[in-house]
Amino acid sequence: DAKTTQPPSMDCAEGRAANLPCNHSTISGNEYVYWYRQIHSQGPQYIIHGLKNNETNEMASLIITEDRKSSTLILPHATLRDTAVYYCIVRATNTGTASKLTFGTGTRLQVTL
Amino acid sequence: AAGVIQSPRHLIKEKRETATLKCYPIPRHDTVYWYQQGPGQDPQFLISFYEKMQSDKGSIPDRFSAQQFSDYHSELNMSSLELGDSALYFCASSSSATGRSYNEQFFGPGTRLTVL
């Protein structure tokens, strides 16, 4: 799986958009970009994933650059409950196999009043 | 909605003892994963099972073993416990059925193991 690079920490004011960047310059054509988050000592939580098109769900938006070497997770209106460590994970998704998640160091997002 | 269930939630053991952690996946999920998260560390993959067969293996010590049963629940057995085994152990499950949820892993609340 491709290696990812994320800033170790970021701050965001409540109600503002949080934009979390991720570099994955060695991503392969069959590898997806996944985002998970972990709120203090809880189990990691899936947020969103994408291959090359931008994606949006009820939690967040994922913007992937055209060359796929980087992406940005956007939380449109951050709340205090979004304070967590956010992990960007790149991995291939193969039908019929149990594909592990390889967690890097992630970005610790602190949402403040 | 039903979530992944792990038991026990907390476990305290002495060095050289054994421990068994249990994981009950979301109904109709056929794939189970185990992860270990040491203090201040990021989760590390240990092992996974798909349809009761071992699918992938990470940095799991030889002292640990795991299996997935016919009802898809899984158990992680840990023997000759060491101080360094103190960690949060997460189980996750996913479904191989085609659709949006394939490979989206749903994590349980974890078992906190303390080895004294």
The per-residue pLDDT for B96 is 79
The token duo for A91 is 């991995």
pLDDT at A96 over 90: no
Positive/negative CA dihedral, A37, A39, A40, A43: negative
Read off the pLDDT of residues A69-94 as tens digits, 9 standing for 90 and up: 999 999 999 999 999 999 999 987 65
Q: Which residues of A are less than 8 Å from B92 in CB distance?
A: 43-44, 101
Q: What is the mean pLDDT of chain B?
A: 93
User: Does A105 contact B44 at a Cβ distance shorter than 8 Å?
Assistant: no
Q: Average pLDDT for residues B73-86, to the nearest whole number?
A: 98
The per-residue pLDDT for B33 is 95
User: CA B97 → CA A32, A78, B85, B103, B116, distances in Å?
Assistant: 18, 33, 34, 9, 42
